[in-house]
Chain A
Amino acid sequence: MQTLQNAVMIILWHWKALKETQRISDSIDIENSPSCTIVRIDDSGDKDSIVENIKKQLYKASGNNSKVLLLMHNNSLDRERFREIEQVYQNAKIDYFGGGKDYIYYNPATDTGLLNQFDDFIQNSLLKWIDPITGENRRAQKTLVIPSAESQSGFVIPYKYFQAVWQYYAYQPKRTAFELKEKLFIYLVGNQFGETEKRELPVILQQDKSILGALLSSFLDTSLNANRIKEIYGKDEIVLSYEKLCEYIKTTPVGHRNYLQHLRSYFSNLLQLIPEKIYG
Chain B
Amino acid sequence: MADFHIAYWAAEESAAGFLGRQLQQQGFSWRPYELGTVLDCDIFILLSPVWCNNHFISCDKTWKKYLELNYPEVRFISAGFDRIAQENYIDLLDLPENWSTFFLNARISRDAFDIIDTGGLDISNKLRAFFEGHGNDSILQIFSPIYMALRIVRDEINKGKSTYQQLYTDVISQIQLTDNWRIFLYRFSNYYSFFSCLPFFSLFEMIKTHTEIIRPYFDEDCKEELLFTQLGVMEHISEIKRYLDEAESYVR
Contact = CB atoms under 8 A, between A and B. Distances in A.
B217 to A, nearest CB: 21
A80 B186 contact: yes
A191 interface: yes
Contacts of B61: none
Contacts of B190: 79, 83
B226 interface: no
B136 A181 contact: no
A178 B187 CA distance: 28
Interface in A94-116: none
A264 B14 contact: no
The interface residues of chain A, by DSSP majority, are classed as helix
Contact of A279 (B15, B18, B55, B81): B55
Contacts of A83: 186, 190
A80 B93 contact: no
B49 A190 contact: no
Interface residues of A, number: 24
Interface centre among A79, A83, A186, A278 (most CB of B within 10 A): A186
Contacts of B17: 190
A187 interface: yes
A21 to B, nearest CB: 29
A66 to B, nearest CB: 25
Given A80-B183, A80-B186, A186 B12 contact: yes
- How many chain B residues sit at the interface, stated as a range, is 20 to 34
A261 B82 CA distance: 10
Interface string A252-267: 0000000011001000
Interface of B: 12-15, 17-18, 49, 51, 55-56, 81, 83, 92-94, 119-121, 136-137, 182-183, 186-187, 190
Minimum-distance CB pairs A-B, first 10: A190-B14, A185-B81, A279-B121, A80-B186, A189-B18, A186-B15, A79-B136, A260-B93, A186-B12, A189-B15
28 contacts: A75-B136, A78-B183, A79-B186, A79-B187, A80-B182, A80-B187, A83-B190, A178-B56, A181-B81, A182-B51, A182-B56, A182-B81, A185-B92, A186-B14, A189-B14, A189-B18, A189-B93, A190-B12, A190-B14, A190-B15, A190-B17, A260-B93, A261-B93, A264-B83, A264-B93, A278-B120, A279-B55, A279-B121
